Structures are given as structure tokens and as C-alpha cells.
Amino acid sequence: MKEYRDHEGRRVLQIESLAFLYQREGYGWIQRHWLNIRHKIAIRRAEIIMVPDPQTAYELEKYYFVPRETIVVEG
């Protein structure tokens, strides 16, 4: 997860993966909980959310109820 401002001054959030939400291996419960809180706060503040693929965009809509118009799929 990376936060920055674009050339127009909008807050952009770049998310690579939301695997911690559904993959139990590799994440302890505290780590999953902490990542979830960090993502919720960052998503709430972001004006544009950039994701690498349509699957991650779908997960944002499903788990965090992000409107589709704020999500940009790269590539």
C-alpha cells in the first residue's frame, strides 16, 4: 500500500493485494487485524484508488464497499 498525491493534488492510494483478507497462511491474526485497520483508514481518505488487476478492484468493492468510480485498474 502506497499513498501519495497526484499532479492535481488528489490523494491517491495504490494497493497491490488484499490477500491478507482471505489467506490465513503467512498472516497472524494481529497482523491481519492491523492491516485491515490501516487499509480502512487509507481507503476512507483516498480520492483515487489504483489497483493492478480487476480481481483486486472486485475485492475492494466486496470487502470495503468502495464505489467503482473511485477505483482505477492499472495495466
Residue 22's pLDDT is 87
Average pLDDT for residues 50-64, to the nearest whole number? 95
Query: d(Cα 7, Cα 54) in Å, to the nearest integer?
Result: 25
- Is the C-alpha dihedral spanning 39, 44, 50, 53 positive or negative? positive
Q: How many domains is the chain built from?
A: 1
Question: What is the domain extent for residue 39?
Answer: 2-73
Q: What is the mean pLDDT of residues 37-42?
A: 96
Distance from C-alpha of 23 to C-alpha of 71, rounded to nearest angstrom: 23
Per-residue pLDDT averaged across 38-47, rounded? 97
Would you say residue 6 has pLDDT above 90? yes
As a whole number of angstroms, the distance between CA 3 and CA 28 comes to 24
Model pTM score: 0.88
Q: What percent of the chain has pLDDT over 90?
A: 91
